[in-house]
Structure 1
Amino acid sequence: MIRKNSRLLFFLCVTALIACSGEKKKEDAEKGVETVLPANNNEVTILKLDKQIFNHELVSNGKVKASAFADLRFQSAEVITHIWVKNGDWVKKGQKLAGLDKFRLDNKLSQAKNTLEKARLELQDVLIGQGYAVKDFDKVPEATMKLAKVKSGYEQSKVDYDLALYEDEHATLIAPFDGVVANLFAKSMNRVSTSDVFCTIMDTKSMEVDFSVLESELSLLKKGDRVVITPFADMAHACKGSIDEINPLVDDNGMVKVKAKVDGNAKLFNGMNVRVNVHRSLGKQLVIPKSAVVLRSGKQVVFVLKKGKAMWIKVHTGLENADSYTVLDGLQVGDTVIVTGNINLAHEAPVTVILNGK
């Protein structure tokens, strides 16, 4: 009987010890930052807080487009006799690009001109037959003149002549503006089709970027905001621009279309996929580096230097950019915060300052 009581007593003691150990672990977990063991030598970098200009940064993906873009076609299905340019060539407005064989076009124009002259003489005969002298043709009533032109065939002859003249003049393809040649695949001595694009001219010195932002981010954008465009194909090559248009329409996905103009000769290709960083100055704010903020039990914490010790303070951050947060509450101007060496710090841990940040 005594042996059974002893075993029961031993079992109860072990159970109590396990329960106490579990409660101790739970208590330690709830302490948060106090549970992080301090290092033997906590070397830190500090920064004294002050208000400074904060540039908000918004990141989106976009696509590059040429601001001036033209698909050029010939107006006549004739044989190409000359091609003076190739893909990638920079051309000036009015420069010749390619030319067609004009034998048929010149003959068609000559025939149309002769037909028009005959129709003009026939028109004169019709007006004279109605009692008008040649010197008084400008006094003929409009309705009478229109009827005489139709009767003499002058109206149709004029239309045919104008069309022949237009086709003859457009037998040589001309650059409509300064730009670079693209999509030129035709060869000389081949007949062109009036429905096919002969080549494309793009003004790559004046590029645009189309991108989208969430409707919740609209309040952070305005026309003229500075942007930085970085091609995914070459992340080391960044160029600058500014927001030129904000489309006043939210689509079904809650997105708004934005267009930015790229400054200068950015050496971008039409259709490139790029990353767009929008920067906007929000004036002076209380700002801390991102490296100063650490997580303890899922909460944002900043360590402040006080009398040689690291004192943790819970903070609430607001907007962010690539390297900083704005502080909503928890800190104030003049606080000395620890910006590096804070990963393994504990509350009230002694620290050694190795560098004062600026």
Structure 2
Amino acid sequence: MNYEAGMFGRQERLEFIGEETRKSRKWLWVGIAVIVVVGIAAFFMMSGSKPADPKAAAGKDAAAASGAQMPTVTVAAPGRRTVATIVTGTGSLAARREMPVGVVGEGGVVTRVLVEPGSWVGKGQVLATVDRSVQAQTAESLAASVRVAQADARLAQAELDRAQQLVKNGFISKADIDRRTATRDQAQARVRVAQAQFAETQARNRRLDIRAPESGLVLTRQVEPGQIVSGGSGVLFRMAQGGQMELRTQLAETDLQKLHAGAQAEVTPTGSKQVFKGQVWQVSPVIDPQTRQGIARVALAYDPGLRPGGFAAARIVAGGTTAVLLPQSAVQSDAEGNYVYIIDGKNQAVRRSVTTGEVSEAGVAITSGLTGSERVVLTAGAFLNPGQKVIPNLQKSN
């Protein structure tokens, strides 16, 4: 019985495995069918309903090969224009004519300060006053002396007049007249001496006031009320005559040679976008032997944005020439010198040697080698060879 039971179990296992195998093959064929359908759909979507033309494909390949052999380059006929010679530099702002103001007289204790930095003052205006109590008494004394001398002179003149009336009647001799005349003259002389002494004292007292030598702008103040000042106190105020400012810019010797008085300039203080117009009014006649630099002084009108001691940049127009102007990308250089590529009538690249001039933000000035009517390669010149055919893309020059 055991043998029959074993045979029966084995047969059931074989039937189960066969069933599983048939199911697996069924799903395998379904998967293959799905993959085939998806592949066919993708093929038609990519290729389209119209089959490719072999001749058209060959033509496209030939055109691509021709385009690869003839590169497209940007060219322009630059013409000629006036190119300004620009000199740039930096320096410090300062008063064009700075006036130090100090004590002119004997000095004393400062009683009042009447101005502040930034104040505009006129010529002779009082900036500060010095105590003059003692000097005032001296002036009063001298004024009294003048009045005494004038009274004596009037008395001497009156006595002389009476004597001249009496001499006609013989009551006074000629000698008495001469003595009275001399007395009158001495009295008048004493008046003039007293007046001179009084005027001198008044002038000294006026010099106690610290005054502006010229009209202008007060830059600094170095004195306060109560301070004792004298001729040795140094500078109490600094002024800019007429409020005029300037930029003192350090320039290289070669740049300095290009400048002249009257050249127009633009000055931009550091930290500001405001540009101030000015002109060069002085070019230093001396070059520093150590730095090989000199100073150009640019005159500027007063503006609150210009502060003496500040730093600024200058852009000076030193002159101008008529030349061809090209972008820096158009100019190439090698061992033989500077050159550009131009495109001839056959659309072939031709090398042309040139001489360069000023280099600025606007481009490179070509002083010789071009007339301006040529078609000049603006970019990609470094990748061209002489005689190479190209497809020019003409760009309008500005």
- Report if TM-score (shorter chain) is over 0.5: yes
Partner residue of 1:276? 314
Work out which structure has the larger RCO, using CA pairs closer than 8 Å and 6 or more positions apart in sequence.
Answer: 1
- Separation of aligned partners in 2, 1:271 and 1:55: 30
The answer on whether the counterparts of 2:99 and 2:241 sit within 8 Å (CA) in structure 1 is: no
Q: Which residue among 249, 261, 273 is the counterpart of 1:223? A: 261
- Separation of aligned partners in 2, 1:79 and 1:216: 54
Give the unaligned 5+ runs of structure 2. 1-67, 165-181
- Separation of aligned partners in 1, 2:239 and 2:256: 34
Q: For the structure 1 residues 189 and 264, does the alpha-carbon distance in structure 2 shift closer, same or farther, using more than 3 Å as the test? A: closer
1:285 maps onto 2:315 in alignment = no
- Separation of aligned partners in 1, 2:392 and 2:80: 26
Superposed CA offset, 1:240-287 (max 9, x none): 21233456x555858776543224537323344544332144353333
What pairs up with 1:10-49 in 2 under 5 angstroms?
Answer: 45-49=74-78
Partner residue of 1:244? 281
Partner residue of 1:318? 357
The answer on whether the counterparts of 1:43 and 1:341 sit within 8 Å (CA) in structure 2 is: no
1:165 maps onto 2:181 in alignment = no
Partner residue of 1:338? 377
1:329 maps onto 2:368 in alignment = yes
Aligned AA (2:376): V
Q: How many residues align?
A: 304
**RMSD of aligned Cα (Å):** 4.3
1:300 maps onto 2:329 in alignment = no
What pairs up with 1:167-206 in 2 under 5 angstroms?
Answer: 167-196=204-233, 197-203=235-241, 205-206=243-244
Deviation, 1:345, is: 2.4
Question: Going by fraction, where is helix more abundant, 1 or 2?
Answer: 2
- Separation of aligned partners in 2, 1:160 and 1:41: 103
1:72 maps onto 2:111 in alignment = no
Question: Equivalent residue of 1:85, what SS?
Answer: coil
Superposed CA offset, 1:37-66 (max 9, x none): xx9997754431211112112234554332
The answer on whether the counterparts of 1:289 and 1:323 sit within 8 Å (CA) in structure 2 is: yes
Q: For the structure 1 residues 250 and 172, does the alpha-carbon distance in structure 2 shift closer, same or farther, using more than 3 Å as the test? A: closer
Question: Going by fraction, where is strand more abundant, 1 or 2?
Answer: 1
Q: For the structure 1 residues 178 and 290, does the alpha-carbon distance in structure 2 shift closer, same or farther, using more than 3 Å as the test? A: farther
Aligned AA (2:306): L
Choose 69-78 or 94-103, whichever is displaced more: 94-103
The answer on whether the counterparts of 2:120 and 2:217 sit within 8 Å (CA) in structure 1 is: yes
Partner residue of 2:25? none
Q: Which residue among 129, 132, 145 is the counterpart of 1:115? A: 145
Partner residue of 1:209? 247
Q: For the structure 1 residues 162 and 320, does the alpha-carbon distance in structure 2 shift closer, same or farther, using more than 3 Å as the test? A: farther
Superposed CA offset, 1:206-235 (max 9, x none): 22334566776677444322122344x337
Deviation, 1:168, is: 2.9
The answer on whether the counterparts of 1:57 and 1:280 sit within 8 Å (CA) in structure 2 is: yes
- Separation of aligned partners in 1, 2:140 and 2:198: 9
- Separation of aligned partners in 2, 1:266 and 1:324: 35
- Separation of aligned partners in 1, 2:361 and 2:157: 83
- Separation of aligned partners in 1, 2:72 and 2:229: 76
TM-score (norm 1): 0.66
Give the unaligned 5+ runs of structure 1. 1-38, 135-143
- Separation of aligned partners in 2, 1:42 and 1:292: 16
- Separation of aligned partners in 2, 1:339 and 1:324: 11
What pairs up with 1:79-158 in 2 under 5 angstroms?
Answer: 79-87=109-117, 89-93=118-122, 96-119=126-149, 152=190, 154-155=192-193, 157-158=194-195
Choose 222-231 or 252-261, whichever is displaced more: 252-261
Q: Give percent identity, aligned residues only.
A: 16
- Separation of aligned partners in 1, 2:86 and 2:226: 55
